[in-house]
Amino acid sequence: MKHGSEADGISSIAYNDVFVGSSPTRPIGVNMDKLRIYIAGPMSGHPNLNWDAFDRKERELSADGWAVVNPARMDRETGIDPENLGEYDYEDAARRDIEALLSCDAIYMMAGFQFSKGACWERALAKHWGIKRYYEIPREDHERKTILEEGTNDA
């Protein structure tokens, strides 16, 4: 699977950072197979590990035609209890999540992701791998003008 500039000849800066507000619509002119999108956001320190927000976003993205990879669902499937984490192994979960992200065409950054170490790592890896990034909220560093608008390739 090719991502970003490798796949379509478009600059990774111009192509990969997209502010969408709520849920991204499926890109026009792509293969009719469902594109996979990974949900990233804060979990630790939130009631029920913020699974309700992840599940809502999964429903929205699925309705928009995406095949959704939801780490909250993966946690449930492995038997994690948000009320009693016990000896929860963050490294095992991170490894699993990174493998899942690598299989995706895009990542959706939920509001508050910047306060989550895990979500920040997922964003950094997605950027490094050229995976398209969608953002629920705008942030200054996500709203750079594209290379085409600026006429340079400075980022």
Banded pLDDT at 21 (limits 50, 70, 90): low
Q: Position 43: which residue type? A: M
Give 37's strand partners. Answer: 68, 106
Is the pLDDT score of 113 beyond 50? Answer: yes
**What SS3 class is residue 26?**
coil
More confident call, 16 vs 100: 100
Confidence at residue 14, expressed as pLDDT on a 0 to 100 scale: 30
pLDDT, tens only, 39-96: 999 998 888 889 999 999 999 999 999 999 999 999 889 887 777 766 666 778 888 9
- Contact between residue 56 and residue 82 where contact means Cβ atoms under 8 Å apart: no
Domain coordinates in residue numbering, the chain:
35-144
The order of strands in the sheet holding 132-135 is: 17-19, 132-135, 106-109, 36-40, 67-69
Least confident of 1-5, 54-58, 108-112: 1-5
Q: Are 26 and 98 contacting, i.e. CB atoms less than 8 angstroms apart? A: no
pLDDT mean across residues, the chain:
76
Percent of the chain with pLDDT over 70: 65
Summarize the confidence of residues 18-26 as an average pLDDT. Answer: 53
Residue 111 CA to its chain's centroid (Å)? 11
Given this structure, which CATH class describes domain 35-144? alpha beta
* Residue 83 per-residue DSSP state: T
